[in-house]
Amino acid sequence: MLLIIRTPWFKGVFGEWQVNLLFRLFLPKDRYHLLKDVTLPTEDGTTQIDHILVSRYGVFVIETKNMKGWIFGSAGQRQWTQKLYKKSFKFQNPLHQNYKHLKTLESVLELKPDILFSVIIFIGDSHFKTPMPENVTYAGGGIRFIKSKTEELLSEKQVRDIVFFIEQKRFQRGFNTNRRHVAHVKELVERKTGARACPKCGSGMELREGKTGKYAGRRFWGCSSYPSCRAVDRID
């Protein structure tokens, strides 16, 4: 059981569960319609969205990050930095990651971009060490950002239609859908960068040399999303 709890899959699921609970506690169900773990088709494969909130005040596209440590980054940077104790790790700018989600919804549902809002919510024991845009926040800040949008942009019928079309377009939730999506991400990474991709999460793999433990003094491929993903591949 302990091994499962430490996996990136469990951390992701637990983080999304926390955000789901937050939404259900603080956002009225009659005004905000929550869609979870939505995988949609794109021109080159699929894209996976953690949460979509559809309301009269717009469509909120939420990316959840369950991370620890200090977080450094800015809106324009391609990669952000997570500092955990004395180690630093790079990860994709979640605003860029969520941009593809917004463009997919805009295209698939033929929505106007001004009714779509990107929201990045960090949970876990993480702390921003650089100024962040207002839509990059912790859990409570995410609720405040969503509630700050009070102008009615959609009618009730439009809200119902958007929810219906998302449900119609999305792939069925489950292991097979997740596996196909990871395989697609892995293929994109290898095609765009020529680099090896992680077999577990699809991120790029980096060549490293072990300092301690069983890989001490040995070179190996490690996932660039470490410590969120701890996949490794030995070099014999």
Pick from 63, 198, 80: nearest CA to 135: 63
CA distance 126 to 81: 12
pLDDT tens-place values along the chain, 236 residues long: 444 434 444 454 555 677 888 898 999 999 999 999 899 888 777 888 999 999 999 999 999 998 889 999 999 999 999 999 888 998 899 999 999 999 999 998 889 999 999 999 998 889 999 999 999 999 899 999 999 999 999 999 999 999 999 999 888 754 444 555 455 445 544 555 455 677 666 677 777 777 776 667 777 777 777 766 777 776 54
The Cα 123–Cα 138 span in angstroms is 6
Q: b/e string for 146-185 if b means 16 or more Cβ within 10 A?
A: beeeeeebbeeeebeebbeebeeebbeeeeebeeebbebb
Bridge partners of residue 216, in order along the sequence: 210
Report the alpha-carbon distance of residue 71 to residue 89 in Å, rounded: 10
Angle at CA 176, nearest 5°, toward 175 and 181? 100
pLDDT for residue 3: 43
What is the residue extent of each domain of the chain?
2-173, 178-234
CA distance 52 to 184: 22
**Alpha carbon of residue 148 to chain centroid:** 22
- Measured from the Cβ of residue 94, the count of other Cβ atoms closer than 10 Å reads 20
For residue 207, give the H/E element and its range.
Answer: strand 205-209
Residue 54: its pLDDT value, please?
A: 97
Output the CA torsion sign for 12, 14, 20, 25: negative
Give the model's pLDDT for residue 151: 97
Rounded Cα distance, 8 and 136, in Å: 21
Q: How many CB atoms lie within 10 A of CB 36?
A: 15
